[in-house]
Amino acid sequence: QPVLAVVGRPNVGKSTLVNRILGRREAVVQDVPGVTRDRVAYDAFWAGRRFTLVDTGGWEPDATGLQASVAAQAEIAMATADAVLLVIDASVGATATDEAASKVLRRSKKPVLLVANKVDDDRLLADTASLWSLGLGEPHPVSALHGRSSGDLLDAIVKALPSMPRDGDRATAGPRRVALVGKPNVGKSSLLNKISGEERSVVDSVAGTTVDPVDSLVELDGDVWRFVDTAGLRKRVNSANGAEYYASLRTKTAIDAAEVAIVLLDAAEPLSEQDLRVLTMVVEAGRACVLAFNKWDLVDEDRRHAMVRELDRGLVRVPWADKVNISALTGRSVRKLAPALRTALKSWDQRVPTGQLNGWLADLIAATPPPVRGGKQPKVLFATQAGIRPPTLVLFTTGFLEAGYRRFIERKFRERFGFEGSPVRVNVRVRE
């Protein structure tokens, strides 16, 4: 889904506006370190459109000074969001900092909306006309606090946002969409460079595809792949402040835009919380997944032994994901990513016909019925694979099925039908 970033000086009312857009009343706590860090991106919804709203309010101005910090905010927002809201305090008017941010944003090829906040009464309304001078088009006067004109602003936002492929749709035929994700310094840019350097880079020569400039088309093992949202990997966003927020936001955007993710892990180091967070994002987004252990050139015998135990424990959520050991540095086994991607996507696209599914399920349940709950034996009446991308099973039952039993069904389903490299969802509909 498209990403909207909200930028502006401290105290112009960014968080209040964010809450207004989200339809919430309470203020976001901004001054507690760590609180807004991982809550910087919110899911917003208006007029049937979903988008991700990013509040930059948690960024403290750093030593470079306010003006530079806000300009850097704008720079990062432009590089990573699909549209930007610049918020100005209309009761103060345009300050030098606002002008600096506007100057950056005027270069943006993406939509920028200028919001004049704190227009709490009509007296200020006339003054907002002077904000045309910022060169960002018509100012949108609002009062985030009182809600004045926030509906009009939301209409304008939704109009400005680019349309994105719907969740689970294949937007177009053509190269399959790959997200290259992983924690900082795991070797994402190195790998991308390796792939586009060694293999023929086909960035503008694929017939019939319009390629978003943030994506890269590369050939790997005879197929063309579309690595999504790679602009930030090629050109590093340069800001101490906020780089961390946007690393995690980029991960989310890339995963959402992709069909399959290559999750890059550092083979030379133990699995970290950050690695698991990325994996969870992929699984929760329902994307296919390949695990690539990078920096394999640094792995020795001891490390290899340590890894076996570590991965058994660490990767319990994705026992179905293919593992490839690579080195972006030497190019070792980089080609092997392609077969793994193909397998994962094939699983992601796969549908088991209802007849076949129910034949298999009847036998399974006869052999191992669901556990009794509250003195009752839930019956599984019927199952269907309601969806693909990701494959989604729906079981119609007469009672609730415990998570353990749902996992058992998933495991057996995989044993019978494959689905290597893809998450599988098992939903239960209880019929009264």
Binding site for ligand GDP (CB under 6 A): 182, 184-190, 233, 294-295, 297-298, 327-329
186 is in an annotated binding site: yes
Q: Which residues pair with 323 in a beta bridge?
A: 291
Q: Which is nearer to ligand GDP, 80 or 422 (CB)?
A: 80
11 is in an annotated binding site: yes
120 is in an annotated binding site: yes
The sheet with strand 3-8 has its strands ordered as 41-46, 49-55, 3-8, 83-89, 112-117, 139-141
Q: Which is nearer to ligand GDP, 219 or 266 (CB)?
A: 266
Q: Which is nearer to ligand GDP, 55 or 275 (CB)?
A: 275
User: How near is the Cβ of 247 to ligand GDP at its closest, in Å?
Assistant: 8
Q: Which is nearer to ligand GDP, 127 or 297 (CB)?
A: 297
Q: Which is nearer to ligand GDP, 89 or 199 (CB)?
A: 199
297 is in an annotated binding site: yes
C-beta of residue 131 within 8 angstroms of C-beta of residue 220:
no
10 is in an annotated binding site: yes
User: How near is the Cβ of 257 to ligand GDP at its closest, in Å?
Assistant: 18
User: How near is the Cβ of 196 to ligand GDP at its closest, in Å?
Assistant: 13
User: How near is the Cβ of 153 to ligand GDP at its closest, in Å?
Assistant: 36
Classify strands 49-55 and 41-46 as parallel, antiparallel or unpaired: antiparallel
9 is in an annotated binding site: yes
C-beta of residue 113 within 8 angstroms of C-beta of residue 139:
no
174 is in an annotated binding site: no
Q: Which is nearer to ligand GDP, 11 or 185 (CB)?
A: 185
Residue where the block lists tokens 């306010």 = 66
Q: Which residues pair with 46 in a beta bridge?
A: 49
118 is in an annotated binding site: yes
User: How near is the Cβ of 235 to ligand GDP at its closest, in Å?
Assistant: 11
User: How near is the Cβ of 246 to ligand GDP at its closest, in Å?
Assistant: 12
Q: Which is nearer to ligand GDP, 274 or 350 (CB)?
A: 274
167 is in an annotated binding site: no
User: How near is the Cβ of 339 to ligand GDP at its closest, in Å?
Assistant: 20
CA-to-CA separations, 26 to 15, 46, 86, 191, 269, in angstroms, rounded: 10, 19, 22, 43, 41
230 is in an annotated binding site: yes
Residue where the block lists tokens 């305090």 = 89
CB closest to ligand GDP, residue no: 187
User: How near is the Cβ of 365 to ligand GDP at its closest, in Å?
Assistant: 45
C-beta of residue 180 within 8 angstroms of C-beta of residue 233:
yes
54 is in an annotated binding site: no
User: How near is the Cβ of 270 to ligand GDP at its closest, in Å?
Assistant: 16
Q: Which is nearer to ligand GDP, 182 or 286 (CB)?
A: 182
Q: Which is nearer to ligand GDP, 124 or 243 (CB)?
A: 243
Residues making up the binding site for GTP: 8-15, 55-59, 117-120, 182-189, 229-233, 294-297
Residues making up the binding site: 8-15, 55-59, 117-120, 182-189, 229-233, 294-297
